Structure 1
Amino acid sequence: MQRYELNQLNPTKYLFFTGKGGVGKTTVACATATSLADNGAKVMLVSTDPASNLQDVFQTELTNKPKTIDSIPNLRVANFDPVTAAAEYKESVVGPYRGILPDSALENMEEQMSGSCTVEIAAFNEFANFLTDKSVEEAYDHIIFDTAPTGHTLRMLQLPSAWSNYLDENTTGVSCLGQLSGLGDKKEMYAEAVKTLSQEELTTLMLVTRPQKAAIIEATRASDELSQLGILSQKLIVNGLLETADDPISQTIYDQQQKDLSEMPAGLKKFEQFYVPLRAYNVTGIQNLRTLLDKNQPPISEQTNPAIELPTLSEIVADFIATDKKIIFTMGKGGVGKTTIAIQIAKALSKAGKKVHLATTDPADHLSLYLAETKEIFVSHIDEEKELQAYQEEVLAKARETMSADDVAYVEEDLRSPCTQEIAIFRAFAEIVDKAENEIVVIDTAPTGHTLLLLDSTQSYAKEVERSAGEVPASIKKLLPRLQNKAETEVLMVTLPETTPVYESLRLDADLDRAKIAHTWWLVNQSMYATDTSNVILKARAANEIEWIEKVAEVSNGHFAVAEWVSDFEAEFVH
């Protein structure tokens, strides 16, 4: 693996940076754009990431109109807000029906279009405009996009039924993407955008990952999905690689990173691979952007971090016991450590004499062995893929009875959406909770507020299930009111002390507010600040965590705790 240096890349005109949230897509995209512009190329950088910190990186107020960056005359930057774009798109579809359809129908339509899939469609619409604009093409040598479209979104847009009146006429259920008929006039533009994506001489997909198992798996998934659509020109960038170790914590991190990279799936290994070293500083400001990819790094000043008393997970568990919570969810974006935290909570409750039922989607075979010494904990392992497949088959079997092949293909693609996965797992969770009236149920991975509202609004879940079972399970009917009962249920928001995970958690937080789901506590997981590392790079990074810990303290009204960084192995077996 070679260091990421642009003089080795021979970059194409269009560069798409993609990867799991928090891996550093924006940082690497910005550094790439800055380096190319400094070398004389005319560059446009466009972000469509809803968690983008592009303004922080450039320390410049940005809008959806391209703006020249001071001291980088060859670079122009635009920061599209796909959440706002999605809201505008949603109103363009729902608005014409106001005063015509009943309020309940309008609410149902709005909720269908409040999920991540609609945001992705809106984001694709924004950069498709740029990708197909001839004046933009002629004005710039390189056009860089922070966040590429997902395979699911591209496949959906290529299906004939996405551009027909299928959704207007369909009465058999709802789509996660809402009414795509609002995009009918964009078909040709989208087709041209997808064609450009697949032209290897024009476009390169830059897969950004951390040297960590979860992020590598996500990069593999994105690569596979986009490869199947003909987007074959891909390169892998491993961001945040620790190059040397000089204390026990840095040595553990170094060993873990090397192990995870050595076990990288073959599908990723076939691509050209580059790495960006772990830096001691946050990449904000022009100077740091210019320094990030430079071999010659500034000296790291010795960091003396202030000693701050941080609340711990045990304080959250004590509150769960004092308030007699019966249903406890751990919630957060992938890779933040929800499963590990759920296990720790279950064990702590058990030690306090509580009867505990732990339900998890963690596929690890060793989970039951890990908890074997604690007989009071009953473990339910929900097979995520099995539940999803069973749900998909139920829906498709019903769809095939009345729909054309094109419409079935549309439903089949819609069933690959994140919302479908949550619905399938939610059904399994509901059945477990329904059977566990006399236990504390700790559940790893909660459904988002959007999914709950999608299931609940105007009996949309009943319509969804009519395609399969014909009725809403009693467990679902009972569970939704219980989740809104603060005396009984708590959602623990798990995040990391970094920009993107915190902002993504805030969006989940807003979803739960809309769904009126109880959520008092936050946990900042895997904190380097909470360790006693002496490694100068890690100590400097620990200092950078303080602002995010303080941010969580603010948004949680002081109801938060901090868990120190531990290796994957320790997370599984020590606590």
Structure 2
Amino acid sequence: MPQFLDNPPRHFFFTGKGGVGKTSIACASAVHLARQGKRVLLVSTDPASNIAQVFNTTIGNKMTAIEQVPGLDALEIDPDEAAEAYRNKILAPVRTILPAKEIEAITEQLSGSCTTEIASFNEFTDLLANTHVTAGYDHVIFDTAPTGHTIRLLQLPGSWTSYLDNGKGDASCLGPMSGLEKNRATYRTAVETLTDPSSTRLVLVARPQHSTLREVARTLNELAELDIHATNLVVNGILPAASTTDELSCAIHDREQATLAAMPTALSALPCDKVSLKSVNMVGLDALTTLFHDEDAPHTEARNTEQLTMEEQPDLGTLVDQLAEADHGLVMAMGKGGVGKTTVAAAIAIALVQRGKKVLLTTTDPAAHLTTTLGNDVDGLDVSAIDPDQAVLEYRDHVMASKGAKLDDVGRAALAEDLMSPCTEEIAVFQQFSRAVNKARNQFVIIDTAPTGHTLLLMDATGSYHRDITRHLDGNQRDHVTTPLMRLQDPDYTKIIVVTLPETTPVTEAQALTTDLERAGIHPWAWVVNNSLAAARPTSPLLATRARCEKQQLDAVAAMSSRMAVIPTQTREPVGRQQLMALSHGRAAGR
């Protein structure tokens, strides 16, 4: 068994970059502990949770028994359900007391993303701090959202505690804040629990790739600044030494081993467990049971006698050619964490620059590092990032310089206090996102978005702003106003590209994302299936088995979208201009 499961504490946190296998590691750990006779609660804090798919069980926002594993219950913190329950909790005591207009005003205050964040956060802190909620469990395991979202979640107990200590008053949070004061003690207990290594074990999860190892190294430092100290490292999905001369298998194995040998020093100091790549996806109890074994499932070889044959797949260059028929527009790469949105966005941006287009490449992902993916500067390409901290600083300075200029000293002090609310980040990031959207009137703007759940919260803020603006306009005025949401709904202006992997869970989650977008009147333009082994045509038994499993998912994507592209697995990490250029030509760089 992995080292991180030795002498297990009450709480486990698994965190890391999207797509590294946090859910698989968390689920396999929960199964192991339950089979040791422990009572275990497995909790997902990821807005795009896929625990239900792993166990093939409907879970949702309630503690649900996993019937095939006695002693194991699971819970997916659903932001929408949590927000609705939070609103009802605040409104129920006053519905029969206050006038209808006041109830309507409070309801409006409770309609934004700030409420969603606080509601999800309250459920999270309840599980950490209120022992009566989890009294029947020996262990509580948190399968967290991708790193940027998780850092934000772990900052919140301290942020809200400080904010409550220093006073409150942000107008955008008046409704949500009314439910915070009573939870002050809960937040303090949550902070204590998170910073106590005897009760909480925080496990960083990575793949044997430079990008994910750099990500967890940054996470290690960011958590330490919160006095939360990671205790273990898991490197997941390591390709075993090749027993064949398959070029792809040998290249991947050599690349991964070199990456592990050059692991950041800070990570080398942590106890490290290495989990080998398996021939099957980690869906179902049988697959989870094999995850921590060095060897693959014993029946793998028998399935490798069938020759791998796949039809030619459309490449990314075809999509770029269609985009390049215009001279401007907004292109957004969206999807689950770890599917390669940053890589796809960067490849599209470079390909458009090659076609003579003016291009801005930017990101809304707090954990994204476009410059790392691009390598050196690319002539003709502008690169930026919507940095939450910088956005908040600029927003506060702007409000103080404009609105604050008309106030006396007392008023300015009150305004400055209002702007210290953690909810200010929502407004600040939305404003910078809106500016990026508007720039696409005169050039191409390629946006690498944050993982699905975080992006949907941004879309919610966009919708809230649209409703607030248009509510007060008559029909004639509406004809002369264009909000960011209207830009996103315009298929001639915005092209949404859904990025996924040829695996069951990422495709299922991408389908759910498109459903959410359609409800908002936003229609995906194309799908990109990234990192396809089938498109790379491996001959090694393990990789060929995984490649054969992709056919069903590739067919499912083709059935959902008339416009798609498939990017083959690369022999080299797709970092730098040359490697990114190869992606749009449908080949593996270096082959």
For the aligned pair, the TM-score class normalised by the smaller chain equals 0.7 to 0.9
Q: What CA deviation, in whole Å up to 9, does each residue of 1:166-224 have, x standing for no partner?
A: 66x534xx46x972332333222232232222222111111222222333344334433
Indicate the SS of the match to 1:561.
strand
- Is 2:338 the partner of 1:341? no
Structure 1: runs of 5 or more not aligned? 373-377, 461-475
Q: Does 361-370 or 213-222 show the bigger shift?
A: 361-370
Q: What CA deviation, in whole Å up to 9, does each residue of 1:357-406 have, x standing for no partner?
A: 3434564389596755xxxxx32222555x96265234146459545599
1:124: Cα distance to partner?
3.6
Q: Which of 364, 377, 393 lines up with 2:371 in the alignment?
A: 364
Q: Does 491-500 or 503-512 show the bigger shift?
A: 503-512
Conservation of the 8 A alpha-carbon contact between 1:14 and 1:204: yes
User: Could you tell me which residue of structure 1 aligns to residue 329 of structure 2?
Assistant: 327
- Is 2:451 the partner of 1:411? no
Q: Which of 429, 432, 435 lines up with 1:424 in the alignment?
A: 432
User: Could you tell me which residue of structure 1 aligns to residue 564 of structure 2?
Assistant: 560
Distance 1:478 1:62 in 2: 37
User: Could you tell me which residue of structure 2 aligns to residue 307 of structure 1?
Assistant: 310
- Is 2:496 the partner of 1:495? no
1:421: Cα distance to partner?
4.2
Question: After the TM superposition, which residues 237-386 of structure 1 pair with which residues of structure 2 at under 5 Å, given as runs?
Answer: 237-245=234-242, 246=244, 247-299=246-298, 300-301=300-301, 302=304, 304-320=307-323, 324=326, 326-333=328-335, 335-346=338-349, 355-360=357-362, 363-364=370-371, 371-372=378-379, 378-382=380-384, 384-385=386-387
Q: 1:485 to 1:295 in 2, by over 3 A?
A: closer
Q: 1:47 to 1:112 in 2, by over 3 A?
A: closer
User: Could you tell me which residue of structure 1 aligns to residue 550 of structure 2?
Assistant: 545
User: Could you tell me which residue of structure 1 aligns to residue 473 of structure 2?
Assistant: none
Distance 2:99 2:152 in 1: 30
Distance 2:416 2:205 in 1: 35
Indicate the SS of the match to 2:127.
helix
Which residue identity lines up with residue 565 of structure 1 in the other structure? T
User: Could you tell me which residue of structure 1 aligns to residue 101 of structure 2?
Assistant: 100
Which residue identity lines up with residue 326 of structure 1 in the other structure? H
Indicate the SS of the match to 1:189.
helix
User: Could you tell me which residue of structure 1 aligns to residue 24 of structure 2?
Assistant: 27
User: Could you tell me which residue of structure 1 aligns to residue 216 of structure 2?
Assistant: 219
User: Could you tell me which residue of structure 1 aligns to residue 179 of structure 2?
Assistant: 182
Q: 1:12 to 1:109 in 2, by over 3 A?
A: closer
Question: After the TM superposition, which residues 29-48 of structure 1 pair with which residues of structure 2 at under 5 Å, given as runs?
Answer: 29-48=26-45
User: Could you tell me which residue of structure 2 aligns to residue 445 of structure 1?
Assistant: 448
Which residue identity lines up with residue 170 of structure 1 in the other structure? D
1:37: Cα distance to partner?
2.6
Q: What CA deviation, in whole Å up to 9, does each residue of 1:122-158 have, x standing for no partner?
A: 3443343333454566544333222278343343333
Q: What CA deviation, in whole Å up to 9, does each residue of 1:472-492 have, x standing for no partner?
A: xxxx96866544332333222
Conservation of the 8 A alpha-carbon contact between 1:150 and 1:222: no
Q: What CA deviation, in whole Å up to 9, does each residue of 1:230-253 have, x standing for no partner?
A: 222521111111122342222332
Q: What CA deviation, in whole Å up to 9, does each residue of 1:454-479 have, x standing for no partner?
A: 5544259xxxxxxxxxxxxxxx9686
Conservation of the 8 A alpha-carbon contact between 1:522 and 1:559: yes
Q: 1:14 to 1:456 in 2, by over 3 A?
A: same
Indicate the SS of the match to 1:56.
helix
Which residue identity lines up with residue 488 of structure 1 in the other structure? Y
Conservation of the 8 A alpha-carbon contact between 1:325 and 1:488: no
Conservation of the 8 A alpha-carbon contact between 1:495 and 1:525: yes
1:61: Cα distance to partner?
4.0
Which residue identity lines up with residue 8 of structure 2 in the other structure? P
Distance 1:453 1:265 in 2: 41
Q: 1:250 to 1:425 in 2, by over 3 A?
A: farther
Q: 1:367 to 1:18 in 2, by over 3 A?
A: closer
Q: Which of 48, 52, 56 lines up with 2:49 in the alignment?
A: 52
Conservation of the 8 A alpha-carbon contact between 1:156 and 1:162: no
- Normalising by structure 1, we get a TM-score of 0.78
Conservation of the 8 A alpha-carbon contact between 1:332 and 1:338: yes
Which residue identity lines up with residue 156 of structure 1 in the other structure? L
1:276: Cα distance to partner?
1.1
User: Could you tell me which residue of structure 2 aligns to residue 392 of structure 1?
Assistant: 393
Distance 2:566 2:105 in 1: 42
User: Could you tell me which residue of structure 1 aligns to residue 12 of structure 2?
Assistant: 15
Indicate the SS of the match to 2:491.
coil
1:10: Cα distance to partner?
2.1
User: Could you tell me which residue of structure 2 aligns to residue 468 of structure 1?
Assistant: none
Conservation of the 8 A alpha-carbon contact between 2:12 and 2:140: yes
Q: What CA deviation, in whole Å up to 9, does each residue of 1:66-104 have, x standing for no partner?
A: 455445434344444344223432455578699425979
Distance 1:390 1:146 in 2: 29
Q: Which of 432, 451, 458 lines up with 2:468 in the alignment?
A: 458
Distance 1:552 1:34 in 2: 31
Q: 1:94 to 1:512 in 2, by over 3 A?
A: farther
User: Could you tell me which residue of structure 1 aligns to residue 197 of structure 2?
Assistant: 200
Distance 2:198 2:373 in 1: 46
Conservation of the 8 A alpha-carbon contact between 1:250 and 1:535: yes
Q: 1:69 to 1:156 in 2, by over 3 A?
A: closer
User: Could you tell me which residue of structure 2 aligns to residue 375 of structure 1?
Assistant: none
- Is 2:440 the partner of 1:433? yes
Indicate the SS of the match to 2:548.
helix
Q: 1:309 to 1:230 in 2, by over 3 A?
A: same
Distance 1:198 1:40 in 2: 27
Distance 1:506 1:399 in 2: 43
Conservation of the 8 A alpha-carbon contact between 1:279 and 1:292: yes
Conservation of the 8 A alpha-carbon contact between 1:496 and 1:524: yes
User: Could you tell me which residue of structure 1 aligns to residue 170 of structure 2?
Assistant: 170
Indicate the SS of the match to 2:535.
coil
Indicate the SS of the match to 1:179.
helix
Distance 2:327 2:516 in 1: 21
Q: 1:259 to 1:409 in 2, by over 3 A?
A: farther
Indicate the SS of the match to 1:411.
coil
1:329: Cα distance to partner?
0.9
Q: 1:199 to 1:284 in 2, by over 3 A?
A: same
User: Could you tell me which residue of structure 1 aligns to residue 82 of structure 2?
Assistant: 85
1:279: Cα distance to partner?
0.8
Distance 2:77 2:208 in 1: 29
- Normalising by structure 2, we get a TM-score of 0.76
Which residue identity lines up with residue 320 of structure 1 in the other structure? L
Q: 1:67 to 1:530 in 2, by over 3 A?
A: same
User: Could you tell me which residue of structure 1 aligns to residue 366 of structure 2?
Assistant: none
Distance 1:346 1:406 in 2: 41
Which residue identity lines up with residue 119 of structure 2 in the other structure? A
1:544: Cα distance to partner?
3.2
Conservation of the 8 A alpha-carbon contact between 1:108 and 1:458: no
Conservation of the 8 A alpha-carbon contact between 1:328 and 1:442: yes
Distance 2:175 2:206 in 1: 31
Q: 1:238 to 1:357 in 2, by over 3 A?
A: same
Indicate the SS of the match to 1:529.
helix
1:573: Cα distance to partner?
0.6
Distance 2:59 2:42 in 1: 11
Distance 1:354 1:142 in 2: 57
Distance 1:68 1:126 in 2: 19
Distance 1:261 1:548 in 2: 31
1:46: Cα distance to partner?
2.9
- Is 2:530 the partner of 1:530? no
Indicate the SS of the match to 1:230.
coil
